[in-house]
């Protein structure tokens, strides 16, 4: 019998918390359901359950999820301007995904430092009649802001950033506001969240390197266009003798590598070509957008 | 009898989805309509004896307890087999 995304996400958060607790691995449920409960965004059903895991035991946690029947979708690793930050796991009889994060984009401090800061002011929520550990409201607001600011070309995310800004000014206590700023400082996210620092009248440090700033802005400008710009960036930075191989890898995708949920079902030749054509069309559009943005 | 300590569950007006967190491969169980009512009664009143539960359900559905005993026993057996009930 089917169960819905909302139900699945609640159960998944409870399950993730339980797996972590049983094995002594620290986890914090983040984003969707947690942001909704804290009133950090207008409630909507998320497609996945997000959890950030103690980086020191991230691989072990992912192996445990595998034991619980959650597996990676078949897809090849594609480059990302901001680097990999999570793995997406699926289970064939569940409608949602699990996004297990080792880091959260926008924090430029090292992963362990960020996790320890989030953990130090953790709280709990009752989800699916179970106790789930979550970051505090202020720390969750930092995560919500980092997520929203990454996609501010989208109306929905721009609205979510505005919502965090409103709460920061009108609803947060002084202590919560200070905690928000401290999480951003420790996580080296001041520059990324500089608009919010300005809003509360606090100076911000340039706590990202010029290269990190450039990658962040390029990612923000092209995030809706998928991986094409990341491939281009990888191609540019590759040594000359590696460029042909990188180019071939960027353009061509084998049947075995075509993304799919079912590991055992290879796409037909026709399906594979349809996927490639779609990918090339998307890539062309993305590179055209990128060229316009660069101008 | 009561809801197990290791069970995650969600409920709305006419539907419950429950999962045993101790079994790695367990799939959620969806309960609808009268089955969901049975679950909610156990959740609210547990620990509760089967006869007491039957009386409550008989009143709620305006039927005789003996008329629903077989169905309720069958549901409770399934919930126990999936380790969703304790006691």
Alpha-carbon distances of A155 from A143, A149, A158, A242, rounded to whole Å: 18, 11, 5, 40
Q: How far is it, in rounded angstroms, from Cα A187 to Cα A168?
A: 18
The predicted pLDDT at position A222 comes to: 74
The predicted pLDDT at position A224 comes to: 67
Across the interface, do B8 and A18 touch by the CB < 8 Å criterion?
A: yes
Q: How many CB atoms lie within 10 A of CB B67?
A: 11
Mutate to test the interface with A, among B24, B30, B36, B82 (most CBs of A within 10 A): B24
Q: How far is it, in rounded angstroms, from Cα A274 to Cα A268?
A: 10
Three-state secondary-structure class, residue A41? coil
Q: How far is it, in rounded angstroms, from Cα A210 to Cα A287?
A: 23
Across the interface, do B28 and A14 touch by the CB < 8 Å criterion?
A: no
Mutate to test the interface with B, among A4, A6, A8, A11 (most CBs of B within 10 A): A11
pTM, 2 dp: 0.86
CA distance A290 to chain B (A): 44
Across the interface, do B28 and A7 touch by the CB < 8 Å criterion?
A: yes
Which residue of B3, B17, B21 is in closest CB contact with A15? B21
Q: Structure tokens of B19?
A: 């999962």
Domains assigned to chain A = 5-209 (3.30.460.40), 226-294 (no CATH)
| Predicted-complex ipTM score | 0.94
Across the interface, do A69 and B25 touch by the CB < 8 Å criterion?
A: yes
* Residue B13's pLDDT band (cuts 50, 70, 90): confident
Mutate to test the interface with B, among A92, A128, A132 (most CBs of B within 10 A): A128
Q: How far is it, in rounded angstroms, from Cα A181 to Cα A199?
A: 12
Q: How far is it, in rounded angstroms, from Cα A40 to Cα B10?
A: 22
Instruction: Report the residue count for chain A.
Output: 295
The predicted pLDDT at position A38 comes to: 97
Across the interface, do B19 and A7 touch by the CB < 8 Å criterion?
A: no
- Walk along chain A (295 residues) and give the pLDDT tens digit of each residue: 588 999 999 999 999 999 999 999 999 999 999 999 999 998 889 889 999 999 999 999 999 999 999 998 877 777 778 888 999 999 989 999 999 999 999 999 999 999 999 999 999 999 999 999 999 999 999 999 999 998 877 888 889 999 999 999 999 999 999 999 999 999 999 999 999 999 999 999 999 999 999 999 888 887 766 677 777 777 787 888 888 887 888 778 888 888 887 777 888 888 888 888 888 888 888 788 877 777 7
Domains assigned to chain B = 2-86 (1.10.10)
Across the interface, do B19 and A15 touch by the CB < 8 Å criterion?
A: yes
Peptide bond into A244 cis (omega under 30): no
Across the interface, do B30 and A1 touch by the CB < 8 Å criterion?
A: yes
């Amino acid at each position: 019998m089917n169960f819905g995304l909302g139900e699945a996400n609640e159960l998944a958060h409870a399950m993730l918390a339980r797996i972590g607790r049983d094995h002594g691995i620290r986890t914090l449920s983040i984003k969707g359901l947690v942001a909704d409960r804290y009133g950090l965004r207008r409630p909507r059903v998320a497609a996945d359950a997000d959890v950030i895991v103690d980086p020191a035991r991230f691989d072990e946690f992912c192996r445990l999820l595998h034991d619980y029947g959650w597996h990676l979708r078949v897809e090849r690793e594609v480059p990302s301007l901001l680097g990999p930050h999570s793995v997406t796991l699926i289970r064939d009889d569940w409608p949602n995904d699990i996004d297990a994060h080792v880091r959260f984009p926008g924090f430029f401090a090292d992963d362990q430092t960020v996790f320890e800061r989030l953990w130090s002011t953790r709280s709990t929520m009752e989800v699916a009649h179970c106790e789930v550990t979550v970051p505090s409201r202020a720390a969750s607001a930092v995560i919500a802001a980092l997520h929203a600011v990454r996609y501010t070309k989208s109306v929905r995310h721009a609205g979510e950033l505005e919502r965090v800004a409103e709460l920061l000014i009108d609803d947060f206590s002084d202590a919560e506001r200070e905690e928000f700023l401290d999480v951003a400082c420790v996580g080296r996210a001041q520059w990324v969240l500089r608009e919010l620092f300005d809003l509360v009248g606090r100076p911000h440090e340039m706590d990202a390197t010029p290269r990190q700033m450039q990658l962040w802005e390029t990612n923000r400008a092209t995030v809706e266009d998928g991986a094409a710009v990341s491939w281009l960036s990888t191609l540019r930075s590759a040594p000359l003798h590696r460029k042909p191989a990188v180019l071939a890898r960027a353009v061509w995708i084998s049947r075995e590598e075509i993304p799919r949920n079912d590991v055992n079902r290879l796409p037909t030749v026709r399906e594979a070509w349809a996927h490639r054509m779609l990918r090339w069309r998307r890539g062309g559009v993305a590179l055209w957008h990128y060229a316009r943005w660069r101008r | 009898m009561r809801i197990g300590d290791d069970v995650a569950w969600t409920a709305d007006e006419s539907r419950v989805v429950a999962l045993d967190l101790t079994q790695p491969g367990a799939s959620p169980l969806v309960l609808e309509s009268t089955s969901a009512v049975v679950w909610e009664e156990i959740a609210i009143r547990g620990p509760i004896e089967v006869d007491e539960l039957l009386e409550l359900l008989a009143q709620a559905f305006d039927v005789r307890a003996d008329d629903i005993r077989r169905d309720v026993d069958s549901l409770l057996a399934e919930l126990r087999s999936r380790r969703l009930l304790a006691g």
